[in-house]
Structure 1
Amino acid sequence: MAKYKDYSYDQGVFLPVFFDKQILPGTFEYSLNHLIDNEVDLTIFDNRYNNDKTGAKAYDPRILLKIILFAYSRGITSSRKMFAVDGCKLPSNASKEWSGTKTDFKNKALKLEKAIERIIQKHREIDHIEEKNNIIDTDTQYIATPAKADKKIRNWTKDNDDKIGASGKPVKSNITDNDSAKMKTSNGVIQGYNGLAMVDNKHQVIVGAEAFGKGPEQDLLKPLINNTKENLGDDVFENTRLTADSGFHTNKNMDMLAEENIDAYVADNLFRKRDPRFDNAGRYKELFRKQKNTKLFSKKDFYFDPEFKFSMCPARKRLYRTGNGIDKKGNFVTRFEGPKSACGPCKLRSKCLRKPDKTLQRQVAYFHVSRKTPETATEKMKLKIDSPSGRQTYSKRLGTVEPVFGHIRHTMKLNWFSMRWKIKVNSQWLLFCTLHNLKKIHRYGSVEVT
């Protein structure tokens, strides 16, 4: 018969643990511990405490910061430099259901009050039912929820006004966190913040960052440039290229970059269409059109009066001039349109219109000789970014900034901002950006330089 040693879980093991021996050189914990103790100035926290004579001792900010950064790291909530800037939209600790203008909130409060009135009316109608006490008790509990929401809305509308957008019109506020905003993302509409970062292309170190309660990024380029200058000095962009996607492209921003003499490469919405490498990008769409429709009449099939008073369609019907103008590319254009009385019963509609069941009449435009457009900052940017060297420089943007957001979101697990209000959300965003940089420093410092 086999014999075994007795074992029991009803026992304890006492192991001596020396924490300083657990933090081994070469680990991220070692790098974090060294940087916080020796390189980071935390004296700013000293003035927040007034317990030198009375009161209990406070926890040292150094150990608290080490714990926070280490928890975040585990996902527990060239001589010629180049920076890339972009934004990362994340949901915040606020529901988009509590967003709207003051008018929206007042209408919502009225609906809640009507719902409460219907429940009260229901109570009056069941006065003679034997089970009325149970029904009333249940409905009373149900009334509490809309009544609480109604009070919350009324209190907010009493003390707050609409936020005014860039166009001067009211934009949606949020009762829970009015610094946040509704934003369109690849995962739908969220209520949150846009975490922006300026990233160095050599080491992917974040040199400027801020969280904004705005989805559109057109107005955020200037603040982030100023943020970067505060961190690295006013002359940081003297020998540095800056790349940004079309979300930051506006005439105002192009003028600002030109005035500050920043060597920037900012794409516009038509950047891809002008790229000769994408000439065949729409070939499948065009093939589908050819399969769906017979060959459509082109402008070559139309006759244009020498004085451009009218045009003649292939069905020998007149199209009348509707006006002249300049298009976005600077071309002088004369436009013509067919009358509904002629286009409606025309037997050639299927050859003349792409959507003959929806489009009422044919329109055609004659492009005259292109006029010279003034050399604005926007036009200069288009010429610059369309050049071979410009496209090569801009192509580095994606590989510079996107991996940083991937690291923060997927490795460090920042899927949403757990804080409310911009000052707290921005602090959380800066902490994650700082942690990203600390990891970069840790990995760079562990490499032996020869």
Structure 2
Amino acid sequence: MANYKPDLSCQSKFIPIDFAQQIIPGTFEYALSHIVDKHLDLTTFDDWYNNDNGGAAAYPPSVMLKIILFGYSRGLVSSRRIAQACETNITFMSLSGDEQPHYTSIASFVAKMKDKIEPLFTQVLMICDREGLIGRNMFAIDGCKIKSNASKEWSGTFEELERKQTKLRRASRRIIERHQAQDGLSEDEVQHDLKQKEKLDKSADKIKQFLASNEEKIGNRKKPVKSNVTDPDSAKMTTSKGTIQGYNGIAINDDKQQIIMQAQVWGSVGEQQTLKPAVEQLQTQLAKLGTPDAFNEAKFTADSSFHSEVNLEFMATTGLDAYMADTAFRSRNPLFKTSETYQTEKEKRRLKRSKGRARLFNSTDFYFNENELTCRCPAGKEMWLSVKSIETAGRHYVRFSGYLKDCRVCPLQAQCMRKVPSKQGRQVQFETNKADKYISYTDKMRVKIDSSPGRRQYSKRLGTIEPVFGNITVNKGMNKFTLRGQEKVNAQWQMYCLVHNIEKLRNSLH
């Protein structure tokens, strides 16, 4: 008969722990602890506290920074989960010296970081530069859209929010009218309806207070844009996974080791408007690193979402060798023209945008005579010259419109217009004076980026900036900001970018 040793897995055992031995060289936690303790100047945090003559002692900023940044590196975004880890995880205990801050202390520390994160970010960049991780050969910019701590259901223009408020008030009144009409309701039904009425009134009051204390946002086209009642700085954004209420995290990084040089979040601002302030902040960072003339020798890449005539004109003044794609960049590439995979995926995206509708006629399907300034539609009907001169980015166009009486009965209407015309017929415009046109910055960039060297330089962008966002959103689990307000969200975004940069230093610091 076999004789086995007893299974004592359910037995408790006290083991002496040396916290210093838990922080192993070559790991992220070692690099984090080494940088915070020996390289960062944390004296600016002293301004937060005035408790030397009374009150409880505060948790050291070094401890708070360590546990928060380490929590972010392990996908712990919420303050409650970080506080719990300080009680149960040996690495968190080692970093904190067995301090166990309450989750409210952690949340308060993160919320106040908006005034302290910039100098810390710069100090870490200086360490990266000292370790030779910044090459200054090429910089790449891109944006990452992340959900905010606000529901998109609370978004709308002021007119839409007023309608929603009226609708909520009407629903609240209907509950009272129902009670007046039906005296025989049970006590449970009455309590349920009263709670529902209280909820409706509270929501309506929330909208009323927001409308009274905020000004309506006006977009680039001088039209009202949607505001969010919960987080007014956030905005509705379209992503590959649908529409979200969130922020766009912009980052510029260096191509040598993917070090993030500049980071900032934006709400209801298009990516085109973020390029100039981002590049100016990058120049400021490089000056702090002691290389203010780095722009004269560096390259810069950006995708089509940053492309505009204004941005190209600005980039021409910076000294950077810029490569910025336009929306037709892929379609001009001979490799993509003959690629069945690209054409198939392009058609899938078009069908998704158009909700399965067939492709409509474009300008190439119309018959335009530039000398006589006449135009006929695909059905053979004459069109009238509605606008004789349109100037955009140094180019001149003319616009024609179809006669409403022709478009309403046209047999090709389904292939030409999205909806049945009610006010005007189909419009189409053509470029004129191509031979003697003004050579714009867009034209110059198109020639530059379509060349073999240009395509080769631009192709490096994908491997420079995209892995950074993959690391932050997937590996680090940053798929939703926990704070509200652009300043606080910006601090949280920069802290995640700080985690990314410190992670690059873990093999350099021993």
469, 477, 481: which is aligned to 1:413?
477
The separation in 1 between residues aligned to 2:395 and 2:258, in whole angstroms, is 42
The separation in 2 between residues aligned to 1:13 and 1:301, in whole angstroms, is 84
- SS of 2:281's equivalent in the other structure is helix
Q: Check conservation: 1:180, 1:421, Cα contact below 8 A.
A: yes
The answer for the alignment partner of 1:237 in structure 2 is 295
- SS of 1:207's equivalent in the other structure is strand
Task: Specify whether residues 423 and 344 from structure 1 end up closer, same or farther in structure 2 by C-alpha distance, changes over 3 A only.
Answer: closer
Q: Check conservation: 1:331, 1:371, Cα contact below 8 A.
A: no
The answer for the alignment partner of 2:437 in structure 1 is 373
Q: Check conservation: 1:319, 1:337, Cα contact below 8 A.
A: no
The answer for the alignment partner of 1:213 in structure 2 is 267
Q: Check conservation: 1:113, 1:150, Cα contact below 8 A.
A: yes
The answer for the alignment partner of 1:151 in structure 2 is 205
The answer for the alignment partner of 2:450 in structure 1 is 386
The one-letter amino acid of 2:25's match is P
- SS of 1:259's equivalent in the other structure is coil
Of stretches 334-343 and 63-72 in structure 1, the one that deviates more from structure 2 is 334-343
Of stretches 165-174 and 220-229 in structure 1, the one that deviates more from structure 2 is 165-174
The one-letter amino acid of 1:84's match is A
Of stretches 336-345 and 276-285 in structure 1, the one that deviates more from structure 2 is 336-345
- SS of 2:51's equivalent in the other structure is coil
The answer for the alignment partner of 1:395 in structure 2 is 459
Q: Check conservation: 1:206, 1:437, Cα contact below 8 A.
A: yes
The answer for the alignment partner of 1:271 in structure 2 is 329
304, 319, 322: which is aligned to 1:246?
304
Describe how 1:313-352 pairs up with structure 2 within 5 A. Answer: 319=382, 322=385
The separation in 2 between residues aligned to 1:363 and 1:325, in whole angstroms, is 14
The separation in 2 between residues aligned to 1:198 and 1:238, in whole angstroms, is 17
- SS of 2:144's equivalent in the other structure is strand
1:184 aligns with 2:238: yes
The answer for the alignment partner of 2:104 in structure 1 is none
1:136 aligns with 2:200: no
The answer for the alignment partner of 2:98 in structure 1 is none
Q: Check conservation: 1:308, 1:334, Cα contact below 8 A.
A: no
The separation in 2 between residues aligned to 1:63 and 1:362, in whole angstroms, is 65
Of stretches 239-248 and 227-236 in structure 1, the one that deviates more from structure 2 is 227-236
The answer for the alignment partner of 2:170 in structure 1 is 114
Q: Check conservation: 1:126, 1:132, Cα contact below 8 A.
A: no
The answer for the alignment partner of 1:290 in structure 2 is none
The separation in 1 between residues aligned to 2:364 and 2:229, in whole angstroms, is 55
Larger radius of gyration: 1
The one-letter amino acid of 2:488's match is K
173, 176, 181: which is aligned to 1:125?
181
- SS of 2:52's equivalent in the other structure is coil
Alignment coverage as a number of residue pairs: 432
The separation in 2 between residues aligned to 1:260 and 1:40, in whole angstroms, is 31
The separation in 2 between residues aligned to 1:279 and 1:354, in whole angstroms, is 24
TM-score by length of structure 2 reads 0.73
Q: Check conservation: 1:193, 1:215, Cα contact below 8 A.
A: no
- SS of 2:480's equivalent in the other structure is coil
The separation in 2 between residues aligned to 1:299 and 1:49, in whole angstroms, is 69
Deviation at 1:153, TM superposition (A): 1.1
Matched-pair identity in %: 42
Of stretches 85-94 and 378-387 in structure 1, the one that deviates more from structure 2 is 378-387
The one-letter amino acid of 1:256's match is F
Task: Specify whether residues 124 and 204 from structure 1 end up closer, same or farther in structure 2 by C-alpha distance, changes over 3 A only.
Answer: same
Of stretches 90-99 and 226-235 in structure 1, the one that deviates more from structure 2 is 226-235
TM-score by length of structure 1 reads 0.82
Deviation at 1:325, TM superposition (A): 6.2
* Gap regions ≥5 residues in structure 2: 78-133, 348-357
93, 99, 110: which is aligned to 2:155?
99
Q: Check conservation: 1:309, 1:320, Cα contact below 8 A.
A: no
The one-letter amino acid of 1:53's match is N
Q: Deviations for 1:386-430, whole angstroms, at most 9, x for unmatched residues?
A: 221111111111111000000111111111111111111111100
Deviation at 1:444, TM superposition (A): 4.5
- SS of 1:47's equivalent in the other structure is helix
Alignment RMSD:
3.9
